[in-house]
Amino acid sequence: RAPLLPLLLLAAVALAAVSGTEVAYNDRALVIDGERRIVISGSIHYPRSTPEMWPDLIRKAKEGGLDAIETYVFWNGHEPRRREYNFEGSYDIVRFFKEIQDAGMYAILRIGPYICGEWNYGGLPAWLREISGMQFRMHNHPFEREMETFTTLIVDKLKEAKMFAGQGGPIILSQFDDKEVNVTLDTGATHVVPAWSVSILPDCKTVAYNSAKIKTQTSVMVKRPEVETVRESLAWSWMPVNLQPFMTDEKGNFRKNELLEQIATSGDQSDYLWYRTSFEHKEEATYKLHVNTTGHELYAFVNGKLVGKQHSPNGGFVFQMETPVKLHSGKNYISLLSATIGLKNYGALFEMMPAGIVGGPVKLVDTVTNTTAYDLSNSSWSYKAGLAGEYRETHLDKADDRSQWSGGLNGTIPVHRPFTWYKATFEAPAGEEPVVADLLGLGKGVVWVNGNNLGRYWPSYEAGGDPTRVNLHTVAVGAACAEAAEVGDQVALACSHGRTISSV
């Protein structure tokens, strides 16, 4: 991980109210209802689980000794298109905070709007790029205006639901992302807070504690081998993704005599963007198709046939594909499918990083003379974001689609075949422990359980894989412990709740 900038707690905004909790602070501590407190919090990111799972996750956090649950707010999930909002299902943020309240815990609202969080694009919506003059995470009017609109909406929503401590709700702290590395103290001195950490300076000079200097062992999860029976019983069926429509006559979303950047064009609504052009040729001929792209993966089709696929080299994104193609006499179609493996979520100017075939060139090169025969970069290109199954919501296993699946109990399943849907039903493994979908054997793709998106996986760039190696099993804590604290120049180890240290 690149060293990111520390986040500062900027606001402890909860005033006394009759039924509310009074949150204040003095030069030493956070003060809740008159009592100095060190609040131990843990993260639960609400969109990463379903609302049905929240009470149990929160209960376990409480049993584990936490006082507060903190969460980021996921802007690109809540506002996928400008001024079109989503607060349903896993994005029901009010319900999430109510669950925290019901569990008798405090909450910390980390409103972002930049969140890093191993989350696509650091939580920033891709449509921000379409706004002229936009510079992400900087002092500029377009960014500040969008940020203000969104954060005000979130605060108002939570206020209306009486979720702030002063209103009797659980939220004791709110946090905005701040790009400062260095903190100027009241004494005028500058203090550098190491990345990803919190410092305590009791006298405003000397660091008594910094969380980056302490490494504590956390829980180590182990598989429960005794219940690993699911893999053998999974009967997979499969369905090819229908790529044909857009390779020939299907209308795209729009046309442009230009090769456009992918993230801005698709609005990050899909990992996939089609670029298609057609081309009259008066006889059969062989050329080399040359495409210059900024990644991350490229599939090239001529007249509906795959002629090449390639992905970004390690550590870089720009690459050139060169592949022989055969044209027939008459109208020929060149379709280029560009795919991302998720967007960067951190690093300086990460949002400026392009994807797709920005400007090309795309050309047909004479195989004998190695010179450009046709430059197609400014041809009329037709665009379409997403694959057919994404529009059809194949992941919802709709009745209309059922007849299109093959395989099942007695069928054979193609493996290492890109652009394939696989599905199976399973009995949840026995026991109360968390269930893990182990996607061993798969390349790049997306997984859903009961219609809920578990996320994108990409152990490799290659689409496809072998689903027969996929397993579902429960996991349990195998080893835990070690609370460490820096006391002067020593580190003290302890186990809480009367437990003893068995080994170090």
Ligand X SMILES: *[C@@H]1O[C@H](CO)[C@@H](O)[C@H](O)[C@H]1NC(C)=O
Per CB under 6 A, contacts with ligand X among 298-337 are: 318
Of 235, 241, 237, 234, whose CA–CA distance to 418 is shortest?
241
Distance CA 477, CA 219 (A): 6
Please select the residue that binds ligand X; options are 197, 199, 378, 468, rule is CB under 6 A.
378
Shortest gap between Cβ of 190 and ligand X (angstroms)? Answer: 5
Shortest gap between Cβ of 423 and ligand X (angstroms)? Answer: 17
Distance CA 319, CA 291 (A): 8
> Binding of ligand X at residue 178 (CB under 6 A)?
no
Map residues 241-280 to x or -, x wherever contact with ligand X holds by CB under 6 A: ----------------------------------------
Of 458, 448, 327, whose CA–CA distance to 393 is shortest?
448
Shortest gap between Cβ of 242 and ligand X (angstroms)? Answer: 23
> Binding of ligand X at residue 294 (CB under 6 A)?
yes
The answer to whether 109 and 172 are in contact (CB under 8 A) is: no
Shortest gap between Cβ of 377 and ligand X (angstroms)? Answer: 5
The interface region with ligand X, picked from 145-153, 200-208, 242-250, 373-381 by CB under 6 A, is: 373-381
Shortest gap between Cβ of 181 and ligand X (angstroms)? Answer: 6
**Which residue number, 191 or 456, has a Cβ lying nearer to ligand X?**
191
Please select the residue that binds ligand X; options are 369, 370, 412, 490, rule is CB under 6 A.
370
Distance CA 55, CA 87 (A): 18
Return all residues near 68 (Cβ < 8 A) that are at least 6 apart: 39, 40, 41, 42, 105, 106, 107, 108, 172
Per-position b or e across 467-496, b if 16+ CB within 10 A of its CB: beebbbbbbeeeeebeeeebeeeeeeeeee
Q: Is 372 helix (H, G, I), strand (E, B) or coil?
A: strand
> Binding of ligand X at residue 412 (CB under 6 A)?
no
**Which residue number, 294 or 382, has a Cβ lying nearer to ligand X?**
294
> Binding of ligand X at residue 194 (CB under 6 A)?
no
The interface region with ligand X, picked from 236-244, 324-332, 374-382, 485-493 by CB under 6 A, is: 374-382
Residue with tokens 């000079």: 205
**Which residue number, 73 or 358, has a Cβ lying nearer to ligand X?**
358
Shortest gap between Cβ of 378 and ligand X (angstroms)? Answer: 4
Q: Give the DSSP letter of residue 461.
A: S
> Binding of ligand X at residue 41 (CB under 6 A)?
no
Shortest gap between Cβ of 375 and ligand X (angstroms)? Answer: 4
The values of phi and psi at residue 55, to 5°, are -60, -40
Beta strand 68-72 pairing with 106-112: parallel
Please tell me whether the peptide bond between 55 and the residue prior to it is cis, using omega within 30 degrees of 0: no
Q: Is 401 helix (H, G, I), strand (E, B) or coil?
A: helix
> Binding of ligand X at residue 189 (CB under 6 A)?
no
**Which residue number, 407 or 467, has a Cβ lying nearer to ligand X?**
407
> Binding of ligand X at residue 428 (CB under 6 A)?
no
The interface region with ligand X, picked from 45-53, 247-255, 302-310, 358-366 by CB under 6 A, is: 358-366
Tokens read off for 346: 């951190």
Distance CA 319, CA 358 (A): 12
Shortest gap between Cβ of 425 and ligand X (angstroms)? Answer: 15
Tokens read off for 423: 């599905």
Residues forming contacts to ligand X in the complex (CB under 6 A) are: 181-182, 190, 192, 292, 294, 318, 358-359, 361, 370, 375, 377-378, 409-410
